[in-house]
């Protein structure tokens, strides 16, 4: 027991542990409050009590991929599809700007209807209308040339969860035509091009072991991403994993804390999935060391259709209500929502 607190202290001092040591911390719930308090301390030293707010625009739920866990997978014939026009996406960012957002996260399934030129035009329009804003893309696996084109058009950041660093586990979550190597290649391309790059995993996907999670930690420590998305796996109806149990919230929180101690400056969201798994999940995420929240800016009529998993929260409030709700939630735990660009400290303009 005491040993685990010593390991946590060692992680605070050196920002790195051995695989066995990470595993020991993750396997025990006895020191969760100690771990969270250390992670909070580190987050507050760097970011104070500021939490960065990003407006997420889920602009299309068409997807060519068939990930076994995902509610918008190509073969889910019960998923009601929608696709926003470039104009609608740009107007959505405009209205987000009016209520104070300074980062827009454009996310979608892998929808090939949008050409490279379309994405570049959307990005450059948003950037020229709002030069003080950052644009994050989260639109899946693309060629290096496409990533370069989006970057040249003004995209600042890219989120692409690696989902699992273990190749065999990756194969349990995805059909054969999707490849682990391609996903990892994308992450290295993104970082080399100059994006603030985000990777990440779901906690508790079917077949995931603690050893897999430790492999993810070791990979993330070496890769040094600017952002890390971590949320619990939540089952989605009409998918191969519909009847699988949800991921563990306590383990998710423990991981957020370990990641904060391992990569102190990383941008770490308290995810919507965490808030869906537990009513106060996002608040607990912030108190475990997270420093970002991504409220939904998508038009309300589409929100319920971007159903990656069942029971997703925030599908009926409009953007300004969502934003006020997040601010009030943060205030209730002594933090404040800040709407600046919120770059990674090493990439600040």
Binding site for ligand SAM (CB under 6 A): 69-70, 107, 109-110, 138-140, 160-161, 163, 202, 231, 233-234, 236, 273, 308-309
- Which lies closer to ligand SAM via its Cβ, residue 190 or residue 338? 190
Q: Shortest Cβ distance from residue 11 to ligand SAM (Å)?
A: 25
- Which lies closer to ligand SAM via its Cβ, residue 112 or residue 348? 112
Q: Shortest Cβ distance from residue 196 to ligand SAM (Å)?
A: 15
Beta strands in the chain (DSSP E): 50-53, 55-60, 103-108, 134-138, 157-159, 196-203, 227-232, 292-293, 336-338
Q: Tokens standing for 307?
A: 């159903």
Q: Shortest Cβ distance from residue 324 to ligand SAM (Å)?
A: 26
Q: Are 183 and 156 in contact (CB under 8 A)?
A: no
- Which lies closer to ligand SAM via its Cβ, residue 21 or residue 216? 216
Q: 3-class DSSP state for residue 29?
A: coil
Q: Shortest Cβ distance from residue 331 to ligand SAM (Å)?
A: 27
CA distance 52 to 330: 11
Q: Shortest Cβ distance from residue 252 to ligand SAM (Å)?
A: 11
Buried b (16+ CB within 10 A) or exposed e, 46-84: ebeebbbbbbbbbbbbbbebbbbbbbbbbebeebeebbb
Cα distance between the two ends of the chain: 44
Q: How far is CA 196 from the centre of its chain?
A: 13
- Which lies closer to ligand SAM via its Cβ, residue 130 or residue 162? 162
- Which lies closer to ligand SAM via its Cβ, residue 1 or residue 112? 112
Q: Are 302 and 82 in contact (CB under 8 A)?
A: yes
- Which lies closer to ligand SAM via its Cβ, residue 270 or residue 273? 273
CA distance 200 to 229: 5
Q: Shortest Cβ distance from residue 111 to ligand SAM (Å)?
A: 9
């Amino acid at each position: 027991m005491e040993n685990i607190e010593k390991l946590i202290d060692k992680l605070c001092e050196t920002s790195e542990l051995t695989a066995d040591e990470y595993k020991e911390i993750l396997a025990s719930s006895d020191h969760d409050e100690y771990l969270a308090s250390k992670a909070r301390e580190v987050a507050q030293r760097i970011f104070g009590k500021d939490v960065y707010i990003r407006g997420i625009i889920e602009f299309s739920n068409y997807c060519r991929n068939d990930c076994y866990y995902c509610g918008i997978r190509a073969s889910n014939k019960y998923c009601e599809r929608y696709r926003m026009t470039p104009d609608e996406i740009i107007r959505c960012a405009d209205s987000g700007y009016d209520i104070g957002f300074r980062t827009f996260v454009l996310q979608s399934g892998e929808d090939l209807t949008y050409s490279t030129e379309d994405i570049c035009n959307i990005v450059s329009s948003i950037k020229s209308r709002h030069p003080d804003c950052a644009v994050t893309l989260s639109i899946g696996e693309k060629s290096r040339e496409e990533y370069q084109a989006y970057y040249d058009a003004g995209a600042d950041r890219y989120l692409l969860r690696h989902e699992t660093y273990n190749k065999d586990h990756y194969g349990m979550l995805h059909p054969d035509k999707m490849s682990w190597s391609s996903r990892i290649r994308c992450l290295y391309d993104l970082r080399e091009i100059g994006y603030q790059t985000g990777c990440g995993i779901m906690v508790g996907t079917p077949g995931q072991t603690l050893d897999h999670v430790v492999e993810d930690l070791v990979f993330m420590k070496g890769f040094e991403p600017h952002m890390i998305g971590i949320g619990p796996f939540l089952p989605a109806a009409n998918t191969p994993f519909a009847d699988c149990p949800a991921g563990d919230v306590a383990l998710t929180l423990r991981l957020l804390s370990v990641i904060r101690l391992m990569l102190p400056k990383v941008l770490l969201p308290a995810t919507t999935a965490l808030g869906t798994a537990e009513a106060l999940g996002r608040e607990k995420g912030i108190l475990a060391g997270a420093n970002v929240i991504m409220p939904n800016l998508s038009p309300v009529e589409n929100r319920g259709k971007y159903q990656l998993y069942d029971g997703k929260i925030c599908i009926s409030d409009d953007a300004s209500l969502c934003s006020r709700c997040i601010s009030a939630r943060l205030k209730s735990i002594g933090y404040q929502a800040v709407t600046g660009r919120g770059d990674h400290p090493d990439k600040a303009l």
